Structures are given as C-alpha cells and as structure tokens.
Amino acid sequence: MEILPSRVYHSQDMSAPPKKAVALMSGGLDSALAAALTKRLGFEVVGLNLATGFCTGQGRCDAVLAQGLALEIPVRLLDVSDEYLEVVKYPRFGRGQGMNPCLDCRIFMVKKAGEVMEREEASFVVTGEVLGQRPMSQHREALELVARESGLGERLVRPLSGRLLGPTFPERMGWVRREDWLDLQGRSRKRQLELARDWGIPVFTQPAGGCCLLLERAYAKRLRDLIREKGVDALTKEDFALLRYGRHFRLGPNVRVVVGRDEVENAALLAFPGNHYVLTFPDVPGPVALVLGEASEEELKLAAELAARYSDAPQGAPVRVMAQRNGEALELWATPMSKDDPRLRKFRIDR
C-alpha cells in the first residue's frame, strides 16, 4: 500500500518525523493493549476517545482515563456525536445485524484520529483491531478498506495483528521491526487477558462492539420503525436520543407512545423537548409517558389506558391522567389495560 504524502499530515520537515502516535481508545481491552505496546516500543503516545452518542455502559470515559493513568499517557476526549449522526443515517458500506454501520464507523473514527494526529504533530494512528475478531469489520479486506477510505494508508497501525498485516509507516521508517508487532488473530481473548495482567492494565470495559446501542435488538427495532414513519432525512439528534428511553408502542402510522420504566427515565421524558403530549398520574404512582405525533382523541385515550397499565392504579378501576402539551392540560379518565391485553403485544415496537 502506498505511503501517503507527508505534507497531508505535517507542515514540519518530515526528514525526521516525530516518533509519536495517536491511539484510539474505547475503554476496552484491545485498544488499551495497542496503546501499551506502542509505548513499550519507544513511541510517545496520546490516547483519544471519541464520544459518538451511541456508546452504552457506565464509566466508559472513566475507564479510558484510568487506562491513561495506568499507561502514563495523556488522553484526549472528543465529542463527535453531531457528525456521527450522518454516518448512522447514510452508511456507504451497509449495516451489520442491527443498525450498526461498522465499516463506516471505523472509517469515521480513523479519519477523526487522523485529524488529531495532525494537531498533535504525530506520525501515525494506532487502533486495537484484531484480524478476524469481528466478522464484518475486522477481516483482511475490511481492514484494508478502512485504511484506504480513511486516507491514512500505512499510517494506520494495528499493533496487535501487525505481523499478519501489510507493512506500515513505522516499519518503513526503521523505527520497529516486523517481529515487534504481535500476531493476534481470531475471537479468543486469552492472550489479551494475559498481556493485560503482565502489563498492568487493570481497567477495561466489555469489547467495544458489544457496547453500541445500534447493535442492541430493541434499539435497532425502534430505529427501523422510526425510519419507516419519518424517513431517514427527517431524523434529528433528539429522535435518536429518545429511542434510548422507555417502552415504545405504535398506535398508528404517525403516533407513538413512550412509557418510562423507572424514576430516571421518567425524569428524562419530562425534560424531553418537543410538541407532544406528556401523560402523568397525579393520584397514584405511575410512569411518565410521551404521545408523539398528532394523536386523535381516541388515540390519546388509548395512550392513557396503555400508560395506566404500568401505574399503581387498581386493575379495572378508572384512574385520572393529566395530558399536557404546550402549557395546556387535559384531564382524562382511563381504565388500565390488562397485562394480558393482546393489544400490548400488538402495539409494542421493541419486542
């Protein structure tokens, strides 16, 4: 693979390029190991974590920062969520089993790392990708595609599988020997766990591919349903965010109901912006529910009955429901749906 012109990356004289790398770090084990190996080979390393808005799990940023402390490298945190929406909406290279645009995601992240590489005056980008670990994005052709489409070419280095892949910029410069890289391959993580123990990397999340909302079955079903309703061009950042919360039901082609599952979700739904009805229960403990779209009077009453199913109202007894929108309030009386009501399964989007 051809080495890209150095002027793309540096304004300085590249006759003596810096022995410095930017390492993409997800909080997972592989990316931490790649950064650690690069440092052990004598390079200055800067860690980079990109927040796309679709990561799941608690403490991912904390894990990355903890890894940075353990490895004694600085870590940059970068919010790319607005730009990343375009990748999710319009993937060039298709999607995986869910709504995950894995190849487009990798290309996007590596491009962003290349921009940081330029700002940091580094010479190459490091990732924790392992040949053959993931069927869609880490086979040989996919790895070559990401290197090519990102514009980094040989400046994109995968140290964990480096012996098994093509030559890279650090090798061309004589900074490393080919045998300095590792030869990890496949889905087993036994060697990674051994290296983490040996190199003192105690903090890591689950594999990054398992921590993406777009891979989650329920989220993917909600997103497909919303695309059918609104079309991909009309989707907003708020649309994607709302798909994270509650139970989702479709009452009509353009009417959805989102019912909170706990106090945290209820608070999030109350704060959610938009021209929609907010349903609450003033007399009994109950969820917050949003009715999205131009609901008819019948659909609004049906939404209240559905939401009441998840309240503490006695079965069969009407309960008062307040429906508020744009400062106006309606008082409804709704009989909770039975938990065995077949309409619940019919309306539910994410089952």
CATH number at residue 44: 3.40.50.620
CA pair distance 118, 182, nearest whole angstrom: 26
Query: Within this chain, do residues 259 and 125 fall inside the same structural domain, yes or no?
Result: no
Query: Within this chain, do residues 221 and 176 fall inside the same structural domain, yes or no?
Result: no
- How many CB atoms within 10 Å of residue 286? 23
CA pair distance 255, 101, nearest whole angstrom: 28
Look up residue 43 and give its two tokens. 């390079």
- How many CB atoms within 10 Å of residue 172? 12
CA pair distance 42, 158, nearest whole angstrom: 16
In a domain, 1, yes or no: no
Nearest 5°: phi and psi at 277? -80, 140
In a domain, 305, yes or no: yes
Q: In which residue ranges of the chain is pLDDT below 50?
A: 1-13, 208-210
Give CA 90 to chain center in angstroms: 16
- Contact status, residue 67 vs residue 27, Cβ threshold 8 Å: yes
The tally of domains found in the chain comes to 2
Q: Which residues pair with 255 in a beta bridge?
A: 252
Query: Within this chain, do residues 119 and 30 fall inside the same structural domain, yes or no?
Result: yes
CA pair distance 100, 91, nearest whole angstrom: 9
Query: Within this chain, do residues 227 and 326 fall inside the same structural domain, yes or no?
Result: yes
Q: How far is CA 207 from CA 27, 43, 150, 188, 211, in A?
A: 9, 25, 23, 12, 7
- Contact status, residue 67 vs residue 199, Cβ threshold 8 Å: no
Query: Within this chain, do residues 72 and 155 fall inside the same structural domain, yes or no?
Result: yes
Query: Within this chain, do residues 13 and 155 fall inside the same structural domain, yes or no?
Result: yes
In a domain, 337, yes or no: yes
Query: Within this chain, do residues 228 and 92 fall inside the same structural domain, yes or no?
Result: no
Length reported for the chain: 351
In a domain, 115, yes or no: yes
Choose the final residue of a domain: 149, 182, 212: 212
Query: Within this chain, do residues 201 and 247 fall inside the same structural domain, yes or no?
Result: no
Look up residue 17 and give its two tokens. 């390029």
Residue type, 195: L
Structure confidence by residue, pLDDT tens digits, 260-298: 999 999 999 999 998 999 999 999 999 999 999 999 999
Q: Hey, which bits of 100-208 come out as E strands?
A: 124-126, 156-157
Which domain covers residue 22, as residue numbers? 6-212
Query: Within this chain, do residues 328 and 302 fall inside the same structural domain, yes or no?
Result: yes
CA pair distance 330, 327, nearest whole angstrom: 10
Choose the final residue of a domain: 212, 231, 263: 212
pLDDT score of 208: 43
